[in-house]
Amino acid sequence: MIIYLDMDGVCVDLVSAVCLQHGFHYDEESWPPCQRDLHKEIGISYDKFWDKIHQCGSDFWRELEPYPWFDRFYAELNMLGQIYFLSAPTRSPHSASGKMMWLKDRLGSDFTNFIITRHKHLLAARGTVLIDDYEWNIEAFNKNGTGKAILFPQKWNSAHEHIHGDRVRQVINRIRQIKSGQTS
């Protein structure tokens, strides 16, 4: 099994970092459910929101904090299949280079199991699973092939009711079901 693992919102806490850059504190408990548009919640335009992040360069992306569950999640996923990190770049090339450095800092300088693309759905194939926090990616992946996609529970998506449980266990259990052929 090939497991495509999204970075932002699944492995790294992008939301807290971008909010902090804008002087806004992200609080999971008070965040409106299903509100994915950070710029709207902060109260600025989309372009102004991203321009401030892009000015930080690749270090912004390289220094993102992993979620507390990252190490455990990555270790458990490695027992189930081959992991490739997938991440969508922003308009700035700094995001791609910073994300690559983040991975190499944690997984070794020779680590190459990553794909930087906004077109994750093109990788959908038999024997593949995508884990992502963005519903559009999940829907597009499921429609584009015989791969399976799992929505990682976050406050900003439709699985927000599961954030107080063990998110990692929920996803691992779902992958085990897929692997055993119980895909309902």
Q: Has residue 106 been placed in a domain?
A: yes
Q: Has residue 184 been placed in a domain?
A: no
Res 40: pLDDT: 86
Q: Has residue 82 been placed in a domain?
A: yes
**Residue 6 — φ and ψ, nearest 5°?**
-65, 145
d(CA 65, CA 88): 17
| Domain enclosing residue 129, as ranges | 2-179
User: With a cut of 50, which residues of the chain have pLDDT below it?
Assistant: 184
d(CA 153, CA 171): 9
Res 183: pLDDT: 54
* 97 Cβ contact list (under 8 Å, min separation 6): 58, 61
Give me the CATH number covering residue 62. 3.40.50.1000
Whose CA is closest to 18, among 83, 65, 81, 88?
65
Question: Within 10 A of 73 (CB to CB), how many other CB atoms are there?
Answer: 23
Res 125: pLDDT: 95
- Pair of tokens at residue 92: 């700035």
Res 184: pLDDT: 47
Q: Has residue 85 been placed in a domain?
A: yes
Answer yes or no: are the C-beta atoms of 141 and 147 closer than 8 Å.
yes
DSSP secondary structure, 37-58, as one string: -HHHHHTS-HHHHHHHHHTT-H
Query: Over the stretch 144-177, which tens digit does the pLDDT of each residue have?
Result: 878 899 999 999 999 999 988 899 999 999 999 9
Name the helix (H) or strand (E) containing 85: strand 82-87
Per the structure, how many domains does the chain have?
1
Whole-model pTM: value is 0.93
Mean pLDDT of the chain: 93
Answer yes or no: are the C-beta atoms of 6 and 130 closer than 8 Å.
yes
